[in-house]
Amino acid sequence: MKSRHPGDPKGKASPRKIPALLPPLRLADINTAPGHLIRRAQQIAVAIFYSELRDWDVSPVQYAAMAAIRARPGMDQRTLVNNIAIDRSTVGSLLKGLEKRRLISRVTPEENQRIKQLYILPAGSQLLDSTRGQIQRVQDQILAPLTTKERRVFLQYLARVVHINNKLSRVPLRATESGADQPY
The model's pLDDT over 28-55, given as tens digits with 9 standing for 90+, comes to 999 999 999 999 999 999 999 999 999 9
Q: Is residue 114 part of a domain?
A: yes
Tally of structural domains, the chain = 1
Q: Is residue 71 part of a domain?
A: yes
Q: Is residue 179 part of a domain?
A: no
Q: What is the pTM of this model?
A: 0.81
Q: Is residue 182 part of a domain?
A: no
**Separation CA 160–CA 182 (nearest Å):** 12
Q: Is residue 159 part of a domain?
A: yes
Write down the mean pLDDT value for the chain. 89
Q: Is residue 137 part of a domain?
A: yes
11's enclosing H/E stretch is none
pLDDT for the residue numbered 177 = 46
- Spell out the long-range contacts of 142-148 with Cβ–Cβ below 8 A and sequence spacing 24 or more: 142/41, 142/44, 142/45, 142/48
CATH number for 140: 1.10.10.10
Q: Is residue 12 part of a domain?
A: no
CB 163 within 8 A of CB 184: yes
Q: Is residue 26 part of a domain?
A: no
Note the pLDDT tens digit of each residue in 158-180.
Answer: 999 999 999 999 999 987 544 44
pLDDT for the residue numbered 3 = 47
- The band of 12, judged by pLDDT with boundaries at 50, 70 and 90, is low
Q: Where in the sequence is the domain holding 161, given as residue range(s)?
A: 34-169
Note the pLDDT tens digit of each residue in 79-90.
Answer: 999 999 999 999
